[in-house]
Amino acid sequence: MQKIKKLFKSAESRNGSYSVGMTVLVIAIVVVVNLIAGQIPEKYRNLDVSSTKIYDISETTVELLQNLDSDVTFTVLADKTQADDRIVTFLSKYSALSSKISVEWIDPVLHPSALTDYNASENSIVVKCADTGKSKVVTFNSIIVMNTSAYYYTGSITESEFDGEGQLSSAVNYVTSDVAKTIYQTTGHGETSLSNSVSALMDKNNYDLQELNTVMKPEIPEDCDLLLMNAPAADLTEDEKEAVDAYLRNGGKVMILLGDTNSTELPNIAAIMQEYGMESVDGYIADTQRSYQGNYYCFFPELSVSGDLADGIETQMILLLNTHGMNLAEPERDTISVNSFMTTSSGAYAITEESQSEAGRYTLGAVATEEISSDEDTDAKEDSTAEDSTKSVQKESRLTVISAGSLIEQQITDTFTQLENTTLFMNAVSANFEDVQNLSIEAKSLTPVYNTMQHAGLISLFVIFVLPLGILISGFVVWMKRRKA
């Protein structure tokens, strides 16, 4: 014992004991902190440090989840310990936004009958609402999208997008809503097909998109909630024009996107537009004030959106290319009101091969609405009069015209993903329906974002020449002071 006591009397032994004690204390603190952190809910433990913020959830989804009236169950048919951490993390953050959402994990290896019971494959999420009895399956492959085209260039398949919010919000909206909208896209006039990205957004909003060849049969189906004409190259026939006119006069909804062909070359389409207070301008629009990199025919229009058209519009950056313009005029009926929501700047010109207009502001997107009253037959009771057998119903016809088909061209929307072209387009579609919100949320890119150094030449000059020279000068000054001392 005396020898042991002598060991702790020396300075070395006391310092060593102090070091050991501090080490034990630090380890104990670390263990306790980890135990406490382990009890924190998963939604708070996982921080989004991804470069593209794949776990960020938009206000559109937050509003959807906060307004849920029915319970929704996410049944994940996968082994949670083996599932992709990004999907596990996103599910925990997503479900935490509403008490109406519950998440249940079922390992199909331990419970193989679950795949049959839910009629789904492994690594998928079954979104179900008991109140409506509707369900929808979201696969892991639709959340983490693979770029298969890269295989032809690199020999490997890479991850391109994370679509957790878009897929899940679309599924929740589908299973909790009884509203179904059918959109007919016209064919037979050289229309441009919707790009894959726009079609995917339509599907996310649960729109039933069908084709309609009015050339073969100039009639608008009764279940048509919106008639869409995307960049027609040929004009409507007289029969088609009459069918569209009748559809609008009965409270129908029509949306026209003009392509390279000016509507002045499509007299029947131009006549429909003119009836609702929109007149096309000859030539392509060149905007000298809001051009993209000096290309006057490629420019950023000015937006004046509100209500449904403004949902999700934050930057108001829309890019258009080779577009035509319109001027608003007096509609043919006093019951029609027309308003623009997208224009050029005041420094725009309409350019043709022969002439150039004076500088001015041109309309690029406008909406015309008309309140229509119609009488519908009702089941008359025995003691009711003939007048009581009908009731007046208020409808609103709506004509939306965008004079720039490039708004949803794939070369723009896929190249400049930070722009809001598709958001504005989907808002314009959803604005035709009173009981529908635009929930077509775009996927987030998984492409690595590399830090780029601006003004690298100046920084290189500073590091190579200025900094070493400064060190040499300061060293020389110190040497001189010491020498004099």
DSSP 290: S
pLDDT reading at 135 higher than 80: yes
pLDDT reading at 15 higher than 60: yes
Per-residue pLDDT band for 3 (boundaries 50, 70, 90) equals: low
Percent of the chain's residues with pLDDT above 70:
85
The per-residue pLDDT for 434 is 82
Question: Going by C-beta distance under 8 Å and a sequence separation of 6 or more, which residues neighbour residue 97?
Answer: 57, 61, 62, 65, 66
Tokens of 443: 């996927």
Spatial distance between the Cα atoms of 431 and 446, rounded to a whole number of angstroms? 31
More confident residue, 160 or 96: 96
The per-residue pLDDT for 447 is 72
More confident residue, 149 or 335: 335
Q: Is the distance from CB of 64 to CB of 437 less than 8 angstroms? A: yes
Rounded mean pLDDT of 83-104? 92
Could you give phi then psi for residue 25, rounded to 5 degrees?
-65, -45
Spatial distance between the Cα atoms of 389 and 484, rounded to a whole number of angstroms? 115
Please write the tens of the pLDDT for every residue from 440-460: 788 888 876 544 444 556 677
Q: Which residue has the tokens 């559809």?
A: 247
Among 156-160, 167-171, 264-268, 331-335, which stretch is predicted with the lowest mean pLDDT? 156-160
The per-residue pLDDT for 380 is 44
Global pTM exceeds 0.75: no
More confident residue, 458 or 345: 345
Spatial distance between the Cα atoms of 277 and 256, rounded to a whole number of angstroms? 14
Distance of CA 263 to the CA centre of its chain: 29
pLDDT reading at 10 higher than 70: no
More confident residue, 229 or 179: 229
Q: Is the distance from CB of 68 to CB of 101 less than 8 angstroms? A: yes
pLDDT reading at 242 higher than 90: yes
Per-residue pLDDT band for 286 (boundaries 50, 70, 90) equals: very high
Rounded mean pLDDT of 229-238? 94
Per-residue pLDDT band for 316 (boundaries 50, 70, 90) equals: confident
More confident residue, 156 or 476: 476
Spatial distance between the Cα atoms of 134 and 10, rounded to a whole number of angstroms? 79
The per-residue pLDDT for 279 is 93
Q: Is the distance from CB of 138 to CB of 124 less than 8 angstroms? A: yes
The per-residue pLDDT for 5 is 58
Q: If we measure between CA atoms, which residue out of 405, 312, 417 comes closest to residue 365?
A: 405
Rounded mean pLDDT of 83-98? 92
Please write the tens of the pLDDT for every residue from 137-164: 999 999 998 877 666 666 677 888 899 9
C-alpha dihedral (241, 199, 311, 252), degrees to nearest 10: 20
Rounded mean pLDDT of 59-76? 91
Spatial distance between the Cα atoms of 77 and 80, rounded to a whole number of angstroms? 9
Among 43-52, 173-182, 209-218, 387-396, which stretch is predicted with the lowest mean pLDDT? 43-52
Per-residue pLDDT band for 416 (boundaries 50, 70, 90) equals: confident
Rounded mean pLDDT of 415-427? 88
Q: What is the DSSP string of 89-115?
A: HHHHHHHTT-TTEEEEEE-TTT-THHH
> Element (H or E) spanning 370, and its range?
strand 363-377
Q: If we measure between CA atoms, which residue out of 444, 418, 446, 422 comes closest to residue 159?
A: 446
The per-residue pLDDT for 388 is 54
More confident residue, 304 or 448: 304
pLDDT reading at 320 higher than 80: yes
Reported residue count of the chain is 485
Q: Report how far apart the first and last C-alpha atoms of the chain are (Å, whole number).
A: 59
The per-residue pLDDT for 379 is 53
Q: Is the distance from CB of 293 to CB of 345 less than 8 angstroms? A: no
Per-residue pLDDT band for 255 (boundaries 50, 70, 90) equals: very high
Per-residue pLDDT band for 289 (boundaries 50, 70, 90) equals: very high
Decide: helix, strand or coil at residue 438. coil
- In 124-262, where do the E strands start and end? 124-129, 135-139, 144-147, 158-162, 181-187, 207-213, 226-230, 253-257
Per-residue pLDDT band for 384 (boundaries 50, 70, 90) equals: very low
- What are the Cα distances from residue 305, in Å, to 56, 65, 370? 25, 25, 19
Rounded mean pLDDT of 282-299? 92
Q: Is the distance from CB of 218 to CB of 239 less than 8 angstroms? A: yes
Q: What is the DSSP string of 299-340?
A: E--EE---GGGGTT-SS----EES--EEEE---SSTTEEEEE
Tokens of 3: 């020898």
Per-residue pLDDT band for 25 (boundaries 50, 70, 90) equals: confident
- Determine the residue type at 265: E
